[in-house]
Amino acid sequence: MIIFGMRSFVRLIATLNVVCGSCRNPAAQRVIKRTRWFTLFFIPVFPVGVTRVMTCTYCGRASKLTKEQADQMVAAAAGDPNQPAMMTPAGDQSTSSATAREHPHS
């Protein structure tokens, strides 16, 4: 009998202060990277998808990021974590389009 499944690993890759696109408050935003793994007998074998999400610590709003956006966040956070940055989060249109778009490795 073969037991397989999926498992997600979440990693915090950046935290930075920006003006939230949802609540308009300057608040810490957590950028996390979620990697989904195919598991065999509960052992992760290979990754099947990566999702990057930014969560506002003030209102709790989570928005998906592209890899490029996430990289910018990480770079900004590494540069000066106390420097507020203006940004335009993907916002509402991302929730409808991004949910369907997973990037499975071919």
Summarize as ranges the residues that interact with Zn ion (CB under 5 A): 20, 22-23, 56, 58-59, 61
- Residue 36 or 61: the one with the smaller Cβ distance to Zn ion is 61
CB of 50 to Zn ion, least distance (A): 24
Q: Tell me how far, at minimum, the Cβ of 60 lies from Zn ion, in Å.
A: 7
| Rounded least distance, CB 59 to Zn ion, Å | 3
Label residue 106 exposed, middle or buried (CB < 10 Å: 0-12, 13-18, 19+).
exposed
DSSP secondary structure, 33-94, as one string: EEEEEEEETTEEEEEEEEEEEEEETTT--EEEE-HHHHHHHHHHHHH-TTS-B-----THHH
Residue whose CB is less far from Zn ion, 12 or 40: 12
Give the nearer residue to Zn ion in terms of CB position, either 48 or 62: 62
